[in-house]
Amino acid sequence: MTPLPWPPHWRRPPLGGWLGVVVFGLLALFLAPAGVIALAAGNRVGAAVIGAILLVLAPIAVGSRPRGRGFAVEEASIEVGGVRQTVVRIPVRPTSPLVSLALAILGLALLGLGVAALVIAAVRGDWSAVVGFVVLLVVGSVLALGGIVGLIASRRRLGLDLTPSHLVVGLGGDPVELTWDQIDRIGSTSIRYGFGLAPVQNWLTVVTHEPVNLAAAPSGRRIAASGRRTAALGRLTATAPANTAAAIPAARLGADPVLVDHTLRYYLEHADARPELGTGAALRRLAAGEVVR
């Protein structure tokens, strides 16, 4: 396949995406000897804390490493607008179950510490550190809930389905069905998250000509609208313009994100090529990388 041009406005990940593993390795080089020294000195609590930190960070680092994608695009059959159609499916990976499990364990541990601290404070009648106890309970609850939700989501089949008539975005919750005529452009954006293990995240956005009423769920309730918009936009919910119908994290795409970006742009701009999405011709085009405009 001929190398495809890097999408505009995307940043390349630090250290080729291995930043999380490098950071964890440096922490392990520092903390592991400290844990051994603490254990040798009889400080079992300190050694246990250091071990717990390493156990929690290890799966997060492993989950943040770059993973091989290969050519995961496949044909599938779905029902769109009451009509069964053959589609080209680009899988979307759920959040790593290792990361979700680590967050759930950390959250439950913080909850346990908060509850224990509250019990001790109630027995002793000393409420001077009640703010710290409440913070532990709140942070622990958020992390535990996030980890549990991530574990549940990791079992779902997510993906982008390209049909001759529609682009269907399934990122959890109800899928967002858009006709190609509704879509104005495929955007590319990058967001910096500070100094975490993944400080930069690239996103694909689907921008429509007019704001899409994601509330058009069977229930017609505003709650359903909020849930569908959150599922479609993820972390971009708060900042995304009304015309942004969906946002897909590039890191979660099961196929090469650059190929996916060019594929969506190609079929948006070449209406005459869309019928091949219902045949094997589209898979052959993607495999050859013949999607440059």
Q: What is the largest CA-CA distance in the chain?
A: 76
Residues in the chain: 293
- 179-233: per-residue pLDDT in tens? 999 999 998 888 766 545 556 788 899 999 988 765 444 433 333 344 444 444 5
The three-class DSSP label of residue 66 is: coil
Q: What is the pLDDT of residue 68?
A: 63
Higher per-residue pLDDT: 219 or 261: 261
User: Is pLDDT above 90 for 16?
Assistant: no
Compute the mean pLDDT over every residue in the chain, rounded to the nearest whole number: 78
Mean pLDDT of 51-76: 75
* Joined tokens for residue 30: 């520092």
Q: What is the pLDDT of residue 221?
A: 37
Mean pLDDT of 80-90: 86
Query: Structural domain boundaries of the chain?
Result: 1-11+70-94+157-293, 19-65, 95-155
Instruction: Establish how many alpha carbons lie within 13 A of residue 55's alpha carbon, considering only the half-sphere containing its beta carbon.
Output: 12
Least confident piece of the model among 71-80, 133-142, 235-244 = 235-244
Q: What is the pLDDT of residue 57?
A: 77
206: left (phi over 0), alpha (psi -120 to 50) or beta: beta
- List, in sequence order, the alpha helices (H) in 90-129: 97-124
Residues whose CB falls within 8 Å of the CB of residue 282, separated by 6 or more in sequence, listed in order:
88, 162, 276
State percent of the chain over pLDDT 70. 75
